[in-house]
Amino acid sequence: MVKNIFPVLIPFIKERGEDLFQHLLIACVWAKQHNLPLEGIFQAFDCHPPPDFHEHAFGEKCQKVFDAFSRQTGKDRVPFLEDTEQFILTKGISARLCDLIIKEAGEEELLHMLMHESHFLFSAREMTAVLMKRLYSERDGAKIKKMQAMIGQWMDAGARLRNKEALAAQRVDSAQYIALLNNFSRILLALEWLSDAKPGDFEAIGWEKAFIEYGARFELLTELVCKDLQDMNMVDSISIKALNKERDWFLSQFQKGFSEYIAREYKSLIASSALVHAFSQTQTNQDPGPRFVHSIRYHFYEKYKKKLKPANTYFLLIDAMRWDIWDYCRHDLMGALHDTYRIVDQVPLWVFLPTTTSSQIQPFVTGEPPSPYMIKDKEIISRKVMEEHRAYNAGATSASKGRENGRFFELLPEEDGIFTCKYNFIDDKLHTSGEDLLTIFNEIKLNLQSSLAEYMNKLPVKSMVILFSDHGFIKKKTFSKKGPKASLYAHGGTSPWEMIVPLVVFYKWR
C-alpha cells in the first residue's frame, strides 16, 4: 500500500528503515492537524522532502496510510501514537516540533491548537506551559478574559459534542489541560482584581459579589492548579512556591478587608437585614441587600411555595458547607440525582456572628435577626463561640438520639408537610481533620454523592428542597497534630469563607 501511495519514498524507506518512516508519517499527520508546515517535520527528523513535494497532497496521503494501517492491523491508533512519541522524546525531536507550534503563535492561536490536540502529550504539555508562563508574566486582564471566553465556549461545545467513542479514538484528551488553564486564569484574574480594588469603599453587596466572583474558590483553585502541575509533570512551568505565596497574600488581604468591614458595619447590617426582609415581602424587583439566615423560612419558602406549589418542603441544613464546596460538588451531585431535580435558584446566604450552628438556629426558626453586638473584645467573642458551640452540640446530640438517618437527623418536628433535617458529615470531618483542602473536598463530594443523593432520591415527586448552610470554615494559622481530634480547620470568626454560604432551591419534577 505504501509503495502504491508513496512510490517516490521507496528509496527513502529502504535507506532509513520502515520504523523511521512510520514515525515520520505519524508526525506529519500531527502537523496536518495543526496546519503546520510539513517541511518543518522533515527538518526535525533530519530528512529531506521527496522530489515533487506538495504539502497538501502529501499530508492527505499520510492520513490515508495511517487510517488504513490502523484498520489492517486491527488496532486503534493509540499504540502507534505512543511508539512515535517515545521515539520523538528519545531522539530529542520534541523540542524542534514544539518550536514549529510556539515560535510564531500568539496566545489565542496556541489555545486553539491545544483545544484540538489529540495525538501527543508532550505537545499538549508544552503548549499549556507556554500559555501559563506568558499569562503569568504579562498579567494582562483583558487577554486573560478573552481566553476564558474561548475556554467557556469550548467547554460548552465539548459537553454537547464530545463522547466516549470520540475520546477512545484519540490519545490525548485536552480537557485536562484546558481545565488547568481555566483554573490558572481565574487565579490571575482574582489577583489582578485585588491589586486594583479598593475594599474600603465596598458595601455588603459589593463584598458579596467580589467573594462569589473571586474569593470563594481562590484557595481551592490554587490547590487544584498545584496538584495538576505535579500530576502532569509540569512543575517547571510555574513555581508552586511562588503560587502558594500569592495565595497566602490574597487570602490574607481579602479576609482582612472583609473582617474590617464587618467590625465597622455588623450592627447596621443586622438592623438593615430586618428592613430587607420586610421589603422583600412586598417587592418583586431585585433584592435590595444581602440575605441572612432568618430569611429562609419566610422569604425563600413563601416565594417558591407560590411559584412551585410543592406537595412537601424539605429544609436541609448542611452543616459547614462553604460556597466553594457547593461549587465543587454541584455537578457530581446533580448526576447522582439522575435528572430528577432541577435547580430553581442558588444565592449567597449570610450567617450571623459568631459563625456557629447555634447562632443560626433561632433566627432560622423565628425569622427574626438576633440582637446586634459589635466585635470589640476577641477574648469575649472567642469564649462566646466556644460556649454556644458546646451548648448546641449537647442539645443536638440529645435531639438526634434515636432519630439518626445516616448523617441526617431531624432538626425540627414535621409540620404541615414541612420537614427540617440537618446533615453533619462536613462539620464532623473538618473538626477532626488535618488533611489538605482538596482531599477533604473530594471526601465530601463522594459522601454527598451517596448520602445526600440517596436521601433526596427517596423524596416524593413535587418536593421542594431548600438546601442551605449555617457557616463555613477557614484554615487555622497554627496547627498541631497532637490529640485524637486535632484539626487544621475552624469556624466562629468573621471571614467571608465563614459568613457567606450557599442556599440552593431544588424542585423534584419527576
pLDDT of residue 9: 66
- pLDDT, average across residues 107-133: 93
Burial of 284 (0-12, 13-18, 19+ CB in 10 A): exposed
Cβ neighbours around 156 below 10 Å, total: 10
pLDDT of residue 250: 96
pLDDT at 282 over 60: no
Q: Is residue 197 part of a domain?
A: no
**Full residue range of the structural domain in which residue 84 is found:** 1-104
Q: Is residue 88 part of a domain?
A: yes
Residue type at 288 in one-letter notation: P
What's this model's pTM, rounded to 2 decimal places?
A: 0.86
Query: Contact at 8 Å (CB) between 79 and 30?
Result: no
DSSP-based three-state secondary structure for 450: helix
Query: Contact at 8 Å (CB) between 388 and 355?
Result: no
Q: Is residue 112 part of a domain?
A: no
pLDDT, tens digit (0-9, with 9 covering 90-100), for 483-505: 655 789 999 999 999 999 999 99
Which of 123-132, 372-381, 475-484 is predicted least confidently? 372-381
Closest CA to 290 of 362, 207, 359, 364: 207
**Set of cell numbers at residue 193:** 482584581
Residue-wise burial string across 52-87, b where 16 or more C-beta atoms lie within 10 A, e elsewhere: eeebeebbebbeebbeebbeeeeeebeebbeebbeb
Give the number of residues written for the chain: 510
Which of 113-122, 165-174, 284-293, 477-486 is predicted least confidently? 165-174
**Set of cell numbers at residue 393:** 452540640
- Select the highest-mean-pLDDT range: 158-167, 182-191, 227-236, 380-389: 182-191
Share of the chain above pLDDT 70, in %: 81
pLDDT at 373 over 50: no
Q: How far apart are CA 145 and CA 111, in angstroms?
A: 13
- pLDDT, average across residues 33-52: 87
Element (H, E) at 33: helix 18-33
Q: How far apart are CA 376 and CA 269, in angstroms?
A: 16
Distance (Å) of CA 476 to CA 252, 424, 434: 12, 21, 10
Tell me whether the omega of the peptide bond preceding residue 354 falls within 30 degrees of 0, making it cis: yes
Give the end of a domain, one of 80, 104, 128: 104
Which of 44-53, 169-178, 295-304 is predicted least confidently? 169-178
Instruction: Output the DSSP codes for 219-264.
Output: HHHHHHHHHHHHHTT-TTTS-HHHHHHHHHHHHHHHHHHHHHHHHH
Q: Check residues 396 and 470 and name the one with the higher pLDDT.
A: 470
pLDDT at 453 over 90: yes
Q: Is residue 499 part of a domain?
A: yes
Q: How far apart are CA 313 and CA 310, in angstroms?
A: 7
Cβ neighbours around 388 below 10 Å, total: 17
Q: Considering its fold, how many domains does the chain have in total?
A: 2
In whole numbers, what is the pLDDT of the chain averaged over residues?
84
Give the end of a domain, one of 79, 104, 129: 104
Q: How far apart are CA 58 and CA 69, in angstroms?
A: 16
Q: How far apart are CA 410 and CA 447, in angstroms?
A: 19
Confidence band for 53, pLDDT divided at 50, 70 and 90: confident
**Set of cell numbers at residue 317:** 441544613
Q: Is residue 22 part of a domain?
A: yes
Confidence band for 382, pLDDT divided at 50, 70 and 90: very low
Q: In this structure, what DSSP letter does residue 200 have?
A: G
Instruction: Output the DSSP codes for 299-351.
Output: IIHHHHHHHH--SEEEEEEETT--HHHHHHHHHHHHHHTTT-EEEEEEEEEE-
**Set of cell numbers at residue 145:** 478574559
Give the end of a domain, one of 73, 104, 135: 104
Q: Is residue 179 part of a domain?
A: no
Q: How far apart are CA 175 and CA 212, in angstroms?
A: 24
Q: Is residue 445 part of a domain?
A: yes
Share of the chain above pLDDT 90, in %: 56
Which of 94-108, 331-345, 395-409 is predicted least confidently? 395-409
